[in-house]
With several copies, the nearest count.
Chain A
Amino acid sequence: MYHVSKAYAAGSFALRDISLELRRGEFVFLTGPSGAGKTSLLKLLFSAEEPTEGQIVVLGRNIVRLGPAAIPRLRRRIGVVFQDFKLLPRRTVEENVALSLEVVGTPPRVTRAKVFAMLKQLGLQHRRYHHPLSLSGGEQQRVAIARALVNEPEILLADEPTGNLDPDLTLEIMGLIASAATRGTTVVVATHELDLVSRYGKRIVRLDAGCVLDDTPAPGDGA
């Protein structure tokens, strides 16, 4: 899905000469110690940062060459769960989740139905009219996940999506993400939770200090 990427941020390298290729519908775990560059890698995929060097091809487009008008269009096809959630504090949970539908111009009725269904799946329907600041950390994280998934994106980038969730919820949400992958969405999950990673038997990319340490394909996979 993307080809070569090489990047450094502000003087010191955050990623050094990384090359990765993801197939459509693939489920990949990105692991590595704190500061390894996981978030930086996701940011590149999402064109929130530009690579200092190298090319990145996402959904058939070289995002390094993308004009400022094309970036929003690309982003609408990608769902992202940010490590720090990035929810709008002055909008309700429902409105926050609805955002990713509104940017593509979904009619309000459809939006409301989809948002409600998604919140229910995540056990948040009773928090619908709350504001993010009055939610617990785990609830905020689930809102962020709901916003990323509600638009049925072609790519899902999730940065520590279960860091604030208890083990039961973690299982549930990973199930939700995995089911998105089976529907054809390419999924990249950055996490430190090694248990989690080992339990699912998916492709694992380990990063350290900006380099790919190893790239273990999914057990049942010939590549």
Chain B
Amino acid sequence: MRRALVQLGYFVRTALRGLRSSPVTSAVSVVTIGVSLVLVGAFALLLWNMEGLLDRFGDSLYVTAYLEEGRPVEDRRALVEIVATVEGVERVRVVSKREALERFQAGVGRGSALLEGLDENPLPASLEITLLPERRSAEGLRVVVESLEGLPGISDLASGQDWVEGYLRAVALVRAVGLGLSVILALATLLIVTNTIRLAVLARRDEIEILTLVGASRTFVAIPFVMEGLVQGAAGGVAAVLLLLGLFRLVLPGFEFGMEFLLGGVTPRFFSVGEIAALVGGGAGLGLFGSAAALTGGWKA
């Protein structure tokens, strides 16, 4: 016990001394880890905010139920209530005949007097039925449409099947590309960081050799190095979070104009506390893993 404490003291002291006595090497490791995490973090932020964007698009994914003409208002209310309880439905909105006409005119073009000649509004009222996010798939859509099909008061259903499939494919594509790039980025980062630490260890191989000649066991040599890696990694993680925060604050206002259009009212979000902890922890893990790998791999070379 006492000996373990003595050893721990030695390890901590040696690790700190190592950090102090090779500032360039340490700085390089910290910067490399930091930069790598900034890349990963920036990319993660982008992806997450794009997910938000996709969800937003998903909100305009709805089933339109055209209502039969000439039904009493009470019937329609009852219908809305029934529809709202159908499994998979998130929200129901009533679009009146009048509103339908306005939309149509807005869609065709401003001054269009297209339907003006008609004595009666030919467009029917309808229900806009939004699906729950988890139901936004071709399958979920089919289920909802089937549940609605028999209901009295509904003359016709339009689910924009094409648009839905296109949307779903686009989401899948963005997710896949994002995932692919994330994997490449993560692997690249891991490779770069372990390589950098391997070089840092290489620069100090004399030290390692001498320690083993004096009778130090592998563990005795390795622990301070690994601790150094841990500290450097954590420092890199903290630096990355600060830099990302700075970038986020700096860059955001410039994009707000375009952002508003794409994200609508959604404010782009930064990392949560847990995610920040994960980033710093990831840095520490990288440093730890990197130096451990460098020591086992590069012990001799």
Contacts and interface: CB of A to CB of B under 8 A. Distances in A.
B210 A90 contact: no
Contacts of B17: 90-91, 95
Contact of B220 (A103, A106, A108): A103
The SS class assigned to the B binding surface is helix
Interface of B: 2-3, 6-7, 9-10, 17, 21-22, 206-207, 209-218, 220
- Size class of A's contact patch? 20 to 34
Contact of B10 (A78, A80, A102): A102
A152 to B, nearest CB: 13
Contacts of B21: 90-91
A38 interface: no
Contact of A100 (B2, B206, B214, B220): B214
Interface in A69-105: 69, 72-78, 80, 82, 86-91, 95, 99-100, 102-105
B300 to A, nearest CB: 12
B6 A86 contact: no
B206 to A, nearest CB: 8
A72 B211 CA distance: 10
Interface string A142-179: 00000100000000000000000000000000000000
B6 A106 contact: yes
Contacts of B212: 72
Contacts, number: 61
B215 A87 contact: no
B210 A86 contact: yes
A72 B7 contact: no
Nearest to B210: A86
Contacts of B220: 72, 103
Contact of A105 (B6, B22, B207, B214): B6
A80 B207 contact: no
A90 B17 CA distance: 9
Complex A-B, nearest 8 residue pairs according to Cβ-Cβ distance, in ascending order: A75-B215, A76-B215, A90-B21, A72-B217, A105-B3, A103-B216, A103-B215, A86-B210
Contacts of B9: 108
A48 B215 CA distance: 11
A107 interface: yes
Contacts of A68: 218
Contacts of B213: 46, 48, 75, 80, 82, 86
Nearest to A80: B213
Given A76-B215, A80-B213, 6 more contacts: A72-B217, A75-B215, A95-B17, A107-B2, A108-B6, A108-B10
Contacts of A82: 213
A99 B224 CA distance: 14
Nearest to B5: A107
Contacts of A77: 215
